[in-house]
Structure 1
Amino acid sequence: MTKYVALLRGVNVGGHRRVPMADLRRTLTDSGYTEVRTLLQSGNVVFEAAEQPTADLVAAIEVLLAAEFGFAVDVMVRSGAELRAMVAANPLEVREPAKFAVAFLSPAADVGVLAGIDPDDYAPDELRVGERELYMYFPDGLGKARLTPILARKLRDTTTVRNWNTVTKLLAMVE
């Protein structure tokens, strides 16, 4: 069995698209996933399954969630090994974990659209492109970030963001 992390995009934000974590755990467990645990209320799930391509897990979980909750939920999945490698590959210094974030990219994300963005357009925020993620630092906090609106326009609905504290807690759960 392999440990995986599923990251749900845009659930439980402002009382909309409610996905109770107990119901999420039950839905995944009833579908054959094991050792299902959640972190926070924002749709972070660690589970075990037979080793398989993460794209297959994404498709299966998205179908399950739509059937259970009545709306589409975008899901990004990383194996424990992929999450570990992503943390190790971080190219930026983590000065303040609460102001440091990772945008997990779906397979549909085209990071090529970021090539034309001038770093001065979003300074003092910092951005580095990883393999299937974006590493970001917001020295003035996420609420004052200049980078996130730019990314939202360029990448559309192909990312879900977690702060570094959450990323490292998820990594500890898969270890």
Structure 2
Amino acid sequence: MKTYIAFLRGINVSGKHKIPMAELRELCGSLKLRDVKTYIQSGNVVFKSELENATELEVVISKAILKSFGFEVPVIVKTSSQLRDILNNNPFESEDEIIRKQVYFVLLNDVPKVEELTKFKAEMYKNEEFLISENCIYLKCKVGYGKAKLNNNFIERKLKVLATTRNYRTMHKLLDLSN
């Protein structure tokens, strides 16, 4: 069995798309996912599965949420080794607590097309830096993510791919939970 992390996009934000974590764990268990753990209310699920296809897991979880809760939730699934690689390749890694609170990971469900990537790489915003990898945009927001121009919605619109964003602390905690 492989260990996976599911990142649900846009749940429990501003009172919309509410999914209690206990119900989410129960739902995932009913899908034959094992050792299900959730972390904070923003939709992070660590689990084990015999399925070897992350895309298939994304569809299964998303459809189950629609059936159980009545709304669509985009889901991005990564293996624990993919998550480890993303964290190991972070160009903004630092022991400095201030820096770590400025670092975000925008997880992509697909590799963006070359045309969109080329245009996006030309974007520049004061107090924001980014580096694009195949499945993640590493983002450093010097004045905080809440004020960032390069937010999740902007990135999805520009790159025409599904994305979800997590902070440094959440990503490291999820890796710990997946080990």
Query: What is the TM-score when the length of structure 2 is the normalising length?
Result: 0.89
Write the deviation string for residues 57-98 of structure 1: whole angstroms up to 9, x where unpaired.
Answer: 111111111111111110000011111111112223345222
1:113 corresponds to: 116
In the alignment, is residue 98 of structure 1 matched against residue 101 of structure 2?
yes
Instruction: Call closer, same or farther: CA 1:43–1:118 in 2, change over 3 Å.
Output: closer
In the alignment, is residue 89 of structure 1 matched against residue 89 of structure 2?
yes
Instruction: Call closer, same or farther: CA 1:111–1:49 in 2, change over 3 Å.
Output: farther
Matched AA of 2:70: G
Q: Residue 168 of structure 2: which of 148, 164, 168 is its match? A: 164
Write the deviation string for residues 43-68 of structure 1: whole angstroms up to 9, x where unpaired.
Answer: 00000101411111111111111111
Does structure 2 conserve the Cα–Cα contact (< 8 Å) formed by 1:8 and 1:76?
Answer: yes
In the alignment, is residue 71 of structure 1 matched against residue 75 of structure 2?
no
Structure 2 distance, partners of 1:112, 1:74, is 24
Percent of residue pairs bearing the same amino acid type: 33
The structural deviation recorded for 1:117 is: 3.7
Give the root-mean-square deviation of aligned CA atoms.
1.9
Structure 2 distance, partners of 1:76, 1:101, is 16
Structure 1 distance, partners of 2:42, 2:177, is 16
Query: What does residue range 111-150 of structure 1 map to in structure 2 within 5 Å?
Result: 112-117=115-120, 121-148=124-151, 150=154
**Aligned length, in residue pairs:** 175
Instruction: Call closer, same or farther: CA 1:120–1:75 in 2, change over 3 Å.
Output: closer
Write the deviation string for residues 112-162 of structure 1: whole angstroms up to 9, x where unpaired.
Answer: 413224656312201101121110000111122122264243135611000
Does structure 2 conserve the Cα–Cα contact (< 8 Å) formed by 1:92 and 1:128?
Answer: no
Structure 1 gaps of 5+ residues are: none
Instruction: Call closer, same or farther: CA 1:114–1:157 in 2, change over 3 Å.
Output: closer
Matched AA of 1:172: D
Does structure 2 conserve the Cα–Cα contact (< 8 Å) formed by 1:109 and 1:159?
Answer: no
SS in 2 for 1:122: coil
Does structure 1 conserve the Cα–Cα contact (< 8 Å) formed by 2:111 and 2:135?
Answer: no
Query: What is the TM-score when the length of structure 1 is the normalising length?
Result: 0.91
Structure 1 distance, partners of 2:141, 2:87, is 18
Structure 2 distance, partners of 1:70, 1:117, is 34
Structure 2 distance, partners of 1:168, 1:153, is 27
1:27 corresponds to: 27
SS in 2 for 1:147: coil
Structure 1 distance, partners of 2:114, 2:155, is 10
2:16 corresponds to: 16
Structure 1 distance, partners of 2:106, 2:114, is 12
